[in-house]
Chains A and B, each alone.
Chain A
Amino acid sequence: MNDRALRIPPAAALIGAVKRFGATTALTGIDLRIEPGRITALLGPNGAGKSTSIALLLGLLEPDSGRAELFGESPLRIEVRQRLGLMLQSAALPETLRVRELLSMTSKYYPQPLALAECAATAAVTDLLPRFYGRLSGGQQRRVQFAVAICGRPELLVLDEPTVGLDITARTAVWQSVRSLAAAGCAVLLSTHHLEEAEALADHVAVIMQGRVVASGTVSEVRAHGIHRRIRCVTSVSAEDVRKWEDVRAVERRQQRLDIETVNAEAIVRRLLIADPHLAELEVLQAGLAEALAAITQEAA
């Protein structure tokens, strides 16, 4: 670790955090760092400890041992939370308030909030300002929640499933705003079930399983876990034969099409082409985050 990293605390950190609920241990000594200027996605199956981790960072829960810190300090301090913006999937805002009122009310919590017009424009809710929150569609409500999250010029943005219920245009718009906030130095913690979203948006990924981080790194580092690739082609070579080849992990035949998982795609392709000169529709696919995640969670379980 260099001097700079030692001097500047991360925007958010869990340090050996343990959290128990009665007999069950939700977090078994978790370590997590959310750095400025970076979008970190928190991934993992339901019940893995994502929500508990976020609740510790927000000061909603306190760890039984270990620490939760925002900017190197306790999240229980209001001055520290004034540097935080958040969007919780489960939180329904008051239905009988207008969007304009919700934004101006939340802005008052922060020392240097965005101007209302700027905030509304960034979250694409300008046309919704005079409307009652309860009369908006699900997607519109998500956009308003995003506006509420960014109205205080946060240095740390915590987003829980930010684009559930959004159409593609709205989702792309939210992603764009999140990216530009991160580019301006904001730390973003993204909790999502959408691997596609994590892949599109995040720089870093932390995979949580059974209350601890089982894998973390850049998206490509995590994706490269097991570095298997997938070869697809239409061929007369039998699945049984291919299964005996070196470096082949799995083979599946779907009608004429052969689906091969391997850690050495080049060698397998060469053998395939020699074995079947009539081979067609050849594809070599990089394993996605989904495959890597499946491999990681299988190993961890």
Chain B
Amino acid sequence: MTTLAIQRQGGGALAILLSETRMEFLRLLRAPAFSVPVITFPLLFYVLFGVVMVPHNAGEPVLRQIFANFTVFGVMAPGLFGLGVTLAIERDRGLLQLKRALPLPPSAYLGAKLLMAMSFSAIVSLLLMVVAVTVGQVVLALTQWLTLFALAVVGALPFCGLGLLIGTLVKGQAAPALINLIYLPMSFLSGVLIPLQALPHALAVAAPIWPCYHLSQLAQAAVGGTSASGVATHILALIGMASVLFGIALRRWARLR
């Protein structure tokens, strides 16, 4: 009996985190307004722009580059929408208050949302890989596949930070609108959806202010291309941006009513 009690105490926090994560994942998977765009849009866009409409003379490196960039595009949405919209709606509908009053550790509440976003990101990345291998004519070494996958999972975090921040700034239905206003322009301005060369010079120079620019550079490096400023610089930039976003978001979160 003592053993049982100790197990309960010891396993408590982890068990809560896992169960919260599972429920957070399930409830969003079952919500078409979230799961359909988050999972299918990157796939559709990749099929359209990376497979169907790609120039015939495009070399294998270009195909890899496009694939890596659509992976980055797919990695952004789970954190932005999964944290931003859910937090904004939970604030609006009183669920955040209930969860805070219940004996649920705040770390489990937030941790579950991060793990949920990383799970969706992993799924999107894997589905994109299936498309890339079957119809995308992308050939990578095993380590390259694995590096890109790891990047997709961990790379969801800065966008979780941004999503969380947005969720603390606006309530309810304003969140999806605001996130779309950030998500799509950011994807264009960082060279994720169109090459940086296609942008006006001033905008192209400003690309490093966007977290997805650095993730995109890392993804290029992962699939055998070269990054603009070296892998270490981009990793540090992402860690820095994520820290600032989470720092501000968590401070605001702690003071939410």
* A and B associate: yes
Measured in the bound complex, the distance between the Cα atoms of B30 and A95 in whole Å is 10
Q: Is A214 an interface residue (CB 8 A)?
A: no
Contact B98 A97 (CB under 8 A): no
Q: Does A84 contact B (CB under 8 A)?
A: yes
> Is residue B94 contacting chain A, with contact meaning CB distance below 8 A?
yes
Question: For residue B8, which residue of chain A has the nearest CB?
Answer: A111
Given contacts A88-B98, A90-B94, A108-B15, A78 and B257 within 8 Å (CB-CB): no
Q: Which A-chain residue is minimally distant from B93 (CB atoms)?
A: A92
Q: Are B19 and A108 in contact (CB under 8 A)?
A: yes
Q: Looking at the complex, which of A53-61, A194-202, A203-211, A267-275 is the stretch in contact with chain B?
A: A53-61
Interface of chain B, main secondary structure: helix
A86 CA / B103 CA spacing, docked (Å): 10
CB atoms of B16 and A61 under 8 A apart: no
Tell me the smallest distance from the CB of A144 to a CB of chain B, in Å.
13
CB contacts under 8 Å to A, within B219-257, are: 257
Total interface residues in chain A, CB < 8 Å: 30
Cβ–Cβ contact B8 & A91, under 8 A? no
Q: Which residues of A contact B16 (CB under 8 A)?
A: 108-109
Any B CB within 8 A of the CB of A138: no
The answer, yes or no, to whether A105 is at the interface (CB within 8 Å) is yes
| A94 engages B20 (CB within 8 Å) | no
Cβ–Cβ contact A78 & B23, under 8 A = no
Query: CB within 8 A of A88: which of B27, B94, B104, B257?
Result: B94
B94–A92 touching, CB < 8 Å: yes
Q: Please name all residues of chain B whose beta carbon is closer than 8 Å to the beta carbon of A60 when the two chains form the complex.
A: 97, 100-101, 257
| Chain B residues whose CB sits within 8 angstroms of the CB of A61 once the complex forms | 257
Quick check: B23 and A105 within 8 Å, CB to CB? yes
**In the complex, A96 has a CB within 8 A of chain B:** yes
Which listed residue, A101, A109, A132, A152, touches B23 by the CB 8 Å rule? A101
| A106, CB-defined interface residue at 8 Å | yes
Known contacts A91-B93, A96-B31, A101-B26; is A106 also within 8 Å of B102 by CB? Answer: yes
- A63→B30 CA distance, assembly (Å): 40
Closest CB in chain A relative to B106 CB, distance in Å: 9
Known: A60-B97, A92-B95. A109 touches B102 (CB 8 A): yes
Given the interface pairs A93-B95, A108-B15, the reply to whether A88 lies near B23 with Cβ below 8 Å is no
Q: Across the interface, which residues of B come within 8 angstroms of A94, CB to CB? A: 23, 27, 95
Look across to chain B and name the residue whose beta carbon is closest to the beta carbon of A79.
B103
CA distance A291 to B56 in the complex (A): 85
- Once bound together, how far apart are the Cα atoms of A91 and B93, in whole Å? 6
Q: Is the CB of B94 within 8 A of A91?
A: yes
Query: Any chain B CB within 8 A of the CB of A297?
Result: no
Find residues 61-104 in chain A having any chain B CB closer than 8 Å to their own CB: 61, 78-79, 81-82, 84, 86, 88, 90-97, 101, 104
Q: How far is the CA of A78 from the CA of B257 in the complex (A)?
A: 18
Q: Which B residues are CB-close (under 8 A) to A111?
A: 8-9, 12
Does B61 interact with chain A (Cβ within 8 Å)? Answer: no
CB-nearest residue of chain B to A106: B102
Shortest C-beta distance, A189 to chain B (Å), equals 12
**Is the beta-carbon distance between B26 and A81 smaller than 8 angstroms?**
no
The digit string for A101-132, where 1 denotes a CB below 8 A from any CB of B, is 10011101111000000000000000000001
- The interface centre, meaning the residue of A90, A109, A110, A152 with most chain B CB atoms within 10 A of its CB, is A109
Tell me whether A105 and B20 are in contact (CB under 8 A).
yes
B105 on the A face (CB < 8 A): yes
Q: Which residue of A lies closest to B101 (CB)?
A: A58
A residues near B20, Cβ cutoff 8 Å = 105
- Closest residue of chain A to B24 (Cβ to Cβ) is A94
Instruction: Give the shortest distance, in Å, between A226 (CB) and chain B (any CB).
Output: 37
Q: For B27, what are the chain A residues with a Cβ–Cβ distance below 8 Å?
A: 94-97
B1-33 toward A: CB 8 Å interface, digit per residue (1/0)? 000000011001001100110010011101100
Contact with B along A27-68 (1 / 0, CB 8 A): 000000000000000000000000000010011110000000
A92 to B102 alpha-carbon distance, docked (Å): 14
Please, how many angstroms separate the alpha-carbon atoms of A101 and B23 in the complex? 8
Residues of chain A within 8 A of B257, CB atoms compared: 60-61
- CB of A104 within 8 A of CB of B98, answer no
Smallest CB–CB gap between B189 and chain A, Å?
34
Assess the A96–B26 pair: CB atoms within 8 A.
Answer: yes
**Additional pairs, 4, CB under 8 Å, beyond known A60-B101, A95-B31:** A55-B97, A92-B93, A93-B98, A111-B12
The 9 A-B pairs at the shortest CB distance, nearest first, are namely A90-B94, A91-B94, A91-B98, A96-B30, A58-B101, A92-B93, A81-B103, A82-B103, A96-B27
Identify 18 residue pairs between A and B in the complex whose beta-carbon atoms are under 8 Å apart, listed by A's number: A55-B97, A59-B100, A60-B257, A78-B103, A78-B105, A81-B102, A86-B98, A88-B98, A88-B101, A90-B93, A91-B98, A93-B98, A95-B27, A96-B26, A97-B23, A108-B15, A111-B8, A152-B103
